[in-house]
Structure 1
Amino acid sequence: MNVIKAQDLKLLECRLPSLPWFVEQFVQHKLADLSPSTLLEYSRDFEIFFRWMVHEGLSRSQSVQEIALSELEALTIGNIDSFKLHLQIRSSNSLTTRERKLASLKSLFHYLSQIAEDEHRYPLLKRNVMAKLRTQRLSSAALTAARLQGKILEDDLEIQEFCSFIERDYIGQIVDNPQALHYYEVNKTRDASIVTLILSSGLRVSEVVNLNLEDLDLTKKIAYVYRKGSEDPDLKQGVYFSESGKEAILRYLHRREALYSPQRSEKAVFLTLPRGENQGKRISKRAIQQMVGKYAKAFGKPMLSVHKLRHSFATSYYIKNDIYKTQRQLGHASTETTQLYAQLTDKTMENAINRL
């Protein structure tokens, strides 16, 4: 199992005891088909819903853990509408996030009412209010592309500008902050390497975190990674990266030991130096997300996230290649997912012309 999955499985195991017993049963049923990362997100969605139930007086219990199946059966469609309003107004979730949370709940209720059985072989949940709920289909490539406009790096020139900004120009914004200057000087080569690698390969952040030294073939410019949705999740697949990615990795690897002093047994490519420690450890997904957010805000693109770096690469790559090569490079299970970049391409090319 890769590093991210192992970490998320451990977090999931720690979270389950605080949730109702039937959630653990649901998770055990789904582990064969869904990743620990996905189920960890499900568990967070469930906790939000159950806490809302307690707060609204829809459960007699005072804790999430004690919520009963009978209380789920007693929920009305009006209650669910109120929860949807809670997500929209109080939590300020985007439409996509709200629909994902509702889809998580629909999956749990479906399992309890259609799959799980008690000792008499009757469904655990006799009435499923979530079956009445229609969730919006938000996977349309055109809709997703519209949301991404202005939030990704629009062309090769802007991609180069962002990488250059991290390596050279960001320092101008923190020159009066000694602590920020120190951390920047320690990590800028690593940060530039991570960002350049994603922008030259389309790797997911989890794939970058999981990279070990033996996974890099710098001669062939290939990174061997566990791909999401692969038919064999335990088999690493090769993903090509560009010459600029190779050069950035080499610059980082040249300084890796001097900057982070890792143990000889530490195989991770990208390291971080935890506060108060003197030996580098594998960087986390959250740390990379925060790092990209920091540079993006300073660069003037506050909506640019680590996942949008992948979108930026994919749009640029799609312009030069066909949909099937783009699908393979990104590790998509279907070209339907890759269609997003066909929608983004026209606007990106228009912006590139305007920038010229």
Structure 2
Amino acid sequence: MEIFLREYISSLELERNLSINTIKSYQNDLNSLIGFLKEIKINDPADINYQHLSTFFKTLNKLGLSSRSAARYYSSIKGFFKYLFASGYLQKNPMEKLSAPKVSKGLPVVLNVNEVEKILDFPNTSTKLGLRDKALLETFYACGLRVSELINLKVADLFLQEGIIRVLGKGSKERLVPIGSSAIQWIEEYLSKSRPLLVKKAISENFLFLNNRGTRLSRMGIWKIVNQSKLGAGIKKEVHPHTFRHSFATHLLEGGADLRAVQEMLGHADISTTQIYTHLDRDYIKQVHKEYHPRG
């Protein structure tokens, strides 16, 4: 598949007046598709059918990719298969039956990197709760956690020297997730300066993020922290706690991260509805996170 991609990218560089960034985006999108196809043992364009491509787009949707980014993927992949068909490599174009994703006309539910940074920079880290909020938001974005996973995170789940945390996901399934250097720095500061002022031994139960009463934060508590930081940062979009998870996945995928590595970080069981799930090497996942996450 890679040989066809190289030929297509060369044709874009030679024949179309596209910017370097646009061509790079096309290449990243198509590399994600090729990685997905390899996982289901497809290496020849002639073997690709409508169902394979439909499953790929459903997978992107499950990972929380924004509708605008999905539309860009569609455009990249449509152009690739149009080229392969026109060049005689395919007898049928598998993209013909596939409808373009609808781009939401409402406010986007994914934050861009600059917006995320504004929210992360809002908490006043000179106060015990501000420092907690900073560490919490950094962890939220660094790891792409569900709200339930964040509030149930315990101090014993942190392996900061190894650059990973242990997460208890849906169905009580454990997974190891990379955590970037920025989040590690703020967690360490929170653990040394803020959490000792919040902890109450009888009721804190080793939970990482605590409220003023010394118990673990509730879902509503997380929502209030996210909303307060969003408003304080001047972000006009409608932002929910789950927005951080969607943004995490989108920023990794748009940067060119491996689809399966992102899926494992998020704790999604399958890369397609037909494939048996196998674990990726932990060091490889950490490398993907470090290379493609904006705060890795």
Matched, 1:312 2:247: yes
Task: Please report how far the alpha carbon of residue 148 of structure 1 lies from its aligned counterpart in structure 2 after TM superposition.
Answer: 7.4
Q: What is the aligned counterpart of 1:196 among 138, 143, 156?
A: 138
1:147 to 1:248, Cα distance in 2 relative to 1, 3 A: farther
Task: Please report how far the alpha carbon of residue 336 of structure 1 lies from its aligned counterpart in structure 2 after TM superposition.
Answer: 6.2
Identity %: 30
Matched, 1:246 2:184: yes
Per-residue CA deviations over 1:134-177 (Å, capped at 9, x if unaligned) read xxxxxx9945x63775343212x332222112246xxxxxxxxx
SS at match of 1:282: coil
Q: Partners in 1 of 2:110 and 2:230 — Cα distance?
A: 10
Q: What is the aligned counterpart of 1:296 among 194, 217, 230?
A: 230
Matched, 1:234 2:161: no
Q: Partners in 2 of 1:199 and 1:141 — Cα distance?
A: 29
Is the 2:118–2:233 contact (alpha carbons within 8 Å) kept by the matching residues of 1?
no
User: What residue identity is the alignment partner of 1:271?
Assistant: L
SS at match of 2:162: coil
Is the 2:165–2:179 contact (alpha carbons within 8 Å) kept by the matching residues of 1?
yes
Is the 2:120–2:229 contact (alpha carbons within 8 Å) kept by the matching residues of 1?
no
User: What residue identity is the alignment partner of 1:160?
Assistant: E
Q: Is there any run of 5+ residues in structure 2 with no aligned partner, and where? A: 1-98, 274-296
Q: What is the aligned counterpart of 1:206 among 129, 140, 148?
A: 148
SS at match of 1:224: strand
Question: RMSD of the TM alignment (CA)?
Answer: 2.7
User: What residue identity is the alignment partner of 1:326?
Assistant: V
SS at match of 1:250: helix
Q: Partners in 2 of 1:234 and 1:141 — Cα distance?
A: 36
Q: Partners in 2 of 1:292 and 1:272 — Cα distance?
A: 14
1:295 to 1:243, Cα distance in 2 relative to 1, 3 A: same
User: What residue identity is the alignment partner of 2:115?
Assistant: E
Matched, 1:269 2:188: no
Choose 1 or 2 for highest CA Rg: 1
Matched, 1:164 2:103: no
1:247 to 1:315, Cα distance in 2 relative to 1, 3 A: same
Q: Partners in 2 of 1:217 and 1:271 — Cα distance?
A: 19
Q: Partners in 1 of 2:104 and 2:151 — Cα distance?
A: 29
Matches within 5 A, 1:55-70: none
- Structure number with higher helix proportion: 1
Q: Is there any run of 5+ residues in structure 1 with no aligned partner, and where? A: 1-139, 169-183, 275-279, 338-356
User: What TM-score do you get using the length of structure 1 for normalisation?
Assistant: 0.44
Task: Please report how far the alpha carbon of residue 253 of structure 1 lies from its aligned counterpart in structure 2 after TM superposition.
Answer: 0.6
Q: Partners in 2 of 1:154 and 1:336 — Cα distance?
A: 27
Task: Please report how far the alpha carbon of residue 327 of structure 1 lies from its aligned counterpart in structure 2 after TM superposition.
Answer: 1.0
Q: Partners in 2 of 1:323 and 1:225 — Cα distance?
A: 20
Is the 1:296–1:305 contact (alpha carbons within 8 Å) kept by the matching residues of 2?
no
User: What residue identity is the alignment partner of 1:211?
Assistant: L
User: What residue identity is the alignment partner of 1:311?
Assistant: H
Name the residue aligned to 1:282: 216
Q: Partners in 1 of 2:100 and 2:229 — Cα distance?
A: 28
Is the 2:165–2:177 contact (alpha carbons within 8 Å) kept by the matching residues of 1?
yes
Q: Partners in 2 of 1:185 and 1:256 — Cα distance?
A: 8
Is the 1:225–1:236 contact (alpha carbons within 8 Å) kept by the matching residues of 2?
yes
Per-residue CA deviations over 1:2-35 (Å, capped at 9, x if unaligned) read xxxxxxxxxxxxxxxxxxxxxxxxxxxxxxxxxx
Name the residue aligned to 2:28: none
1:215 to 1:150, Cα distance in 2 relative to 1, 3 A: same
User: What residue identity is the alignment partner of 2:138?
Assistant: T
Name the residue aligned to 1:217: 159
1:147 to 1:203, Cα distance in 2 relative to 1, 3 A: farther
1:142 to 1:166, Cα distance in 2 relative to 1, 3 A: farther
